[in-house]
Amino acid sequence: MSVLLDTSGTALLDQGGDPLLDQGPPPPRTREQIMAGFMGSLLPPGWAFPHVASSNLGVVANALGISLEVLEGDIAALAWEISPAKSTLLLDDYEAVLGPDPCGRDPTTMSLETRQAFDNGRWVGSAGTSWAFFLGLATQIGVTMTIEEPEPAICGVAVCGVDVCSTIADRFVWVVTLPNRETGLECPIKRNNPPDLTVVFEYVSTT
């Protein structure tokens, strides 16, 4: 079981402060359980309706149970398709609805888990202004990223109302350090960053 996360990647907690676990959908009933439920709950008591699997009525109930077992199994499988986060059967359909990625990334080239996280991020995501949001963009694809907000330079004695070495815009600069130029994060970061923020990219490796 995995921990439930919100759209920023933060664990959801219960009232006691413990992480909420994704229990998943309940398992579908087996044919034997369906048959037992049919004979025990739907048939009246009495010798005319023997609740015995080997009876003629039991054989009919077993045949009905085969189809219902398949049906309930299909329904249980669809419970995972409620969002791209766990989807496998409808993942292509989600991507058709989302359309091409504005940054040109192709989810079909990703591993299944990365593809699910990527599609789910587009499905439920929105722009953010916090470090946690932007760091979450990197975490979704397994990339380590750091953000630095440098202090504006100060030269000499500060004079009220006079810009000497810096401007007010220098307060809105982020230096984002990525492992290399192959992460593909520059485009989504630029698309989501606030309009008053200037993002400068640096790379651990330039190769």
Report the percent of the chain where pLDDT is more than 70. 83
Comparing 16-20, 61-65, 138-142, which segment has the lowest mean pLDDT?
A: 16-20
CA–CA dist 202, 180 (Å, integer): 8
CA distances from 38 to 45, 75, 186 (A): 12, 19, 59
pLDDT at position 123: 87
pTM of the model as a whole = 0.55
Confidence of residue 93 (pLDDT cuts 50, 70, 90): very high
Q: How far is CA 164 from CA 46, 146, 149, 184, 197, in A?
A: 98, 29, 20, 37, 21
Residues linked to residue 200 through DSSP beta bridges, in sequence order: 175
Q: Are 164 and 155 in contact (CB under 8 A)?
A: yes
First to last CA, the chain: 39
88 vs 111: CA distance, rounded Å: 12
Could you read off the pLDDT of 46-91 as tens digits, one per residue? 777 777 777 887 788 888 888 889 998 888 888 888 889 889 999 9
Going by pLDDT thresholds of 50, 70 and 90, the confidence category of residue 201 is very high
Side-chain-side CA neighbours of residue 181 (13 Å): 2
